[in-house]
A and B are shown apart, each in its own frame.
Chain A
Amino acid sequence: PVKEKKLMDVKLGELPSWILMRDFTPKGIAGAFQRGYYRYYNKYINVKKGSVAGVTMVLAAYVLFSYCLSYKELKHERLRKYH
């Protein structure tokens, strides 16, 4: 059945129905965030000799996120002849 397959096993034609069968309740979304957080945490931070790269990736993602947020004001600073 499509519902229990992991993403790599789903065939391309079944992809829309797989996406629609995911759990979109608040509990499901919270679970997804938690799984993603712990996946990153256990891979890069919670290791015996964590390095600066783990933290730096988080900071770089934060910079990108803030850039997306302030894109509207930054649009006027592009080097173009006509704005």
Chain B
Amino acid sequence: MNENLFASFITPTIMGLPIVMLITMLPSMLFPTPSHFINNRLISLQQRFTQLILKQLMAAHNTKGRTWSLMLTSLILFIGSTNLLGLLPYSFTPTTQLSMNLGMAIPLWAATVITGFRHKTKSSFAHFLPQGTPTPLIPMLVIIETISLFIQPMALAVRLTANITAGHLLMHLIGSATLILTSISPAAASITFIILVSLTTLELAVALIQAYVFTLLISLYLHENT
């Protein structure tokens, strides 16, 4: 059981050809592009949700921060749709791979930091020292603030990976436990099944929430730095 527990997380290949790229590009094919001024029902729904997300995300930024709106909106749509697609049986979720999440987190975080350095140099350096600290504490506090700054991208990537991976693993385990318990005692199996159902709803929420949190944090880092 140990081997096939983690087998759903290996990158899929067809006879040695990595098709993980195709699977990562799949969610983009599920969002059709609007062609007319007034579109059909599906595209209008999609447009409404995109506008809702855009307004929520970009309300707190000034003009300079709003140049990031395309990036942040596409980020939250990508992470949300990828996580939700991973809840289907037998599917592969690219966001369970730490490599991909690091690749998303580090450039975005670095971009916010470098933007801050370029445009508000003094103010972004001043973030390293909170207001009103007693003088002897200053060197230690600068070190601590630097460490907390550099841990931001790591935390972003690892948070997303760990949440999605842990959710998938839990569902696998509880699902197989339910299957085995049905032949031993149906009462315990029904309890486990109820746990499975509640876990699935939690996973649905987590999929969306993780996307939101990722994007929100990046927009927060952006807000401090523009």
Residues of A within 8 A of B (CB): 41, 45-50, 54-55, 58-59, 62-63, 66-67, 69-70, 73-74, 76-77
| 9 residue pairs from A and B, CB less than 8 Å apart | A45-B32, A46-B32, A47-B40, A66-B92, A69-B90, A70-B7, A73-B4, A74-B90, A77-B4
Chain A binding site: helix, strand, loop or mixed by DSSP?
Answer: helix
Q: Does B89 reach chain A (CB closer than 8 Å)? A: yes
* Residue in A55, A63, A76 whose beta carbon sits within 8 Å of that of B90 in the complex: A63
Closest to A37 in B: B29
* Residue in A49, A58, A70 whose beta carbon sits within 8 Å of that of B41 in the complex: A49
- With a CB–CB cut-off of 8 A, which chain A residues contact B3? 73
* Residue in B8, B30, B32, B40 whose beta carbon sits within 8 Å of that of A70 in the complex: B8
Query: Known: A46-B32, A73-B7. Is A63-B91 also a contact (CB below 8 A)?
Result: yes
Contacting pair B40 A49 (CB below 8 A):
yes
- Top-9 shortest CB links A-B: A50-B42, A66-B90, A73-B7, A67-B90, A66-B91, A49-B41, A69-B12, A48-B40, A63-B88
Q: Does B189 reach chain A (CB closer than 8 Å)? A: no
- With a CB–CB cut-off of 8 A, which chain B residues contact A41? 32
Q: Does B106 reach chain A (CB closer than 8 Å)? A: no
Contacting pair A63 B89 (CB below 8 A):
yes
- With a CB–CB cut-off of 8 A, which chain A residues contact B14? 69
* Residue in B7, B12, B26 whose beta carbon sits within 8 Å of that of A62 in the complex: B26
- With a CB–CB cut-off of 8 A, which chain A residues contact B75? none
4 further A-B contacts with Cβ under 8 Å, apart from A62-B26, A66-B91, A69-B14, are A47-B40, A55-B30, A59-B85, A63-B91
Query: Known: A58-B30, A69-B14, A70-B12. Is A46-B90 also a contact (CB below 8 A)?
Result: no
- With a CB–CB cut-off of 8 A, which chain A residues contact B85? 59, 62
Distance in angstroms from A74 CB to nearest chain B CB is 8
CA distance A73 to B14 in the complex (A): 13
Contacting pair B41 A50 (CB below 8 A):
yes
Distance in angstroms from A41 CB to nearest chain B CB is 7
- With a CB–CB cut-off of 8 A, which chain B residues contact A47? 40
Query: Known: A63-B88, A70-B12. Is A76-B4 also a contact (CB below 8 A)?
Result: yes
Contacting pair B88 A46 (CB below 8 A):
no
Closest to A49 in B: B41
